[in-house]
Amino acid sequence: MEKRIHAVITGRVQGVGFRSFVEDEADDLGITGWVRNLYSGEVEVIAEGNEKNLIQFCQKIKAGPSLSYITDFKLEWLPATSEYRNFNIRGTFISD
């Protein structure tokens, strides 16, 4: 069964190859969605796939690449929308 996660990762996650790492892990697991930096210094992920792969994906991104350091990992499970065909890196989101 397909599911969706929304994650916000805090710590040393910008400037360390974190988004590329997340994209590679998603591609390896057949997960669709996106990853982007937030202006606040966090990283946001929307990902869809089967539950087993999403659990594995979360475990991998919680560990992060070698130069990263995760201090918080907020995770929300949602119903899948099947709106994505692949996984990509988006530009930094700057909120109002």
| Active-site residue, selected from the candidate residues 12, 36, 37, 50 | 37
Higher pLDDT, 1 or 31: 31
Mean pLDDT on 24-32: 98
Q: Is 3.30.70.100 the CATH number for 2-79?
A: yes
- The mean pLDDT value of the chain amounts to 95
Alpha-carbon span 28 to 92, nearest angstrom = 24
* CA dist list (Å): 50 to 65, 75, 82, 90: 23, 16, 11, 22
pLDDT band at 95 (very low <50, low <70, confident <90, very high): low
Domains of the chain by residue range: 2-79
pLDDT tens per residue, range 29-72: 999 999 999 999 999 999 999 999 999 999 999 999 999 999 99
pLDDT band at 86 (very low <50, low <70, confident <90, very high): very high
Q: Catalytic: 12? A: no
pLDDT given at position 51? 97
Sole residue written with tokens 């057949």:
30
| Active-site residue, selected from the candidate residues 4, 12, 19, 88 | 19
Return all residues near 34 (Cβ < 8 A) that are at least 6 apart: 45, 46, 84, 87, 88, 89, 90
**pTM score, whole prediction:** 0.94
Q: Catalytic: 19? A: yes
